Amino acid sequence: MAEKLEDLNLPLTVVTRIVKETLPEGIQISKEARTGLAKAASVFVLYVTSAATNIVKNKNKKSLTGHDVLEAMKDIEFDRFVEPLSEALETYKQAMSARKSGAGKKKDEDEDTEVIEEE
């Protein structure tokens, strides 16, 4: 568990980058607004995590999965985000699968390569 309450906050730099990428060209955001957004995002993440943890406990499971988070989003009445999150989760899974298979291919290629040492 976190030692201090501040340890639970999302990094301000990450939130700032996301906000700047989202805002239209030429729009600035104050430091106070960035801090407020970072705190709000942190509270939201903790809220969703708590709801997902309750789902996991009720099912007597030990691991929290992406599916549990999606179910939690429905439970806390954020249904409109479930479809985009499902798509993002599927994209992430495909990327990880491609990365793993790419790493496996590279490993196979490395094993097939014969090393010749010069004396």
* Fold observed for domain 9-21+29-109: Histone, subunit A (1.10.20)
In b/e form, how buried is each residue of 80-118, taking b as 16+ CB within 10 angstroms?
eeeeeeeeeeeeeeeeeeeeeeeeeeeeeeeeeeeeeee
pLDDT in tens, 82-104: 999 999 999 999 999 998 887 76
Q: Is the pLDDT of residue 119 over 60?
A: no
- What does the pLDDT read at residue 101? 85
State how far the Cα of 119 lies from the Cα of 5, in Å rounded to an integer: 61
For the chain, what are the domain ranges?
Answer: 9-21+29-109
- Single out the residue of 81, 74, 52 nearest to residue 64, CA to CA: 52
Which residues touch 8 (CB under 8 Å, ≥6 apart)?
2, 42, 46
Q: Residue 3 pLDDT more than 70?
A: no
Q: Is 107 a residue whose pLDDT tops 60?
A: no
Question: How far out from the chain centre does Cα 18 lie?
Answer: 13
Does the pTM surpass 0.75? The reply is: no
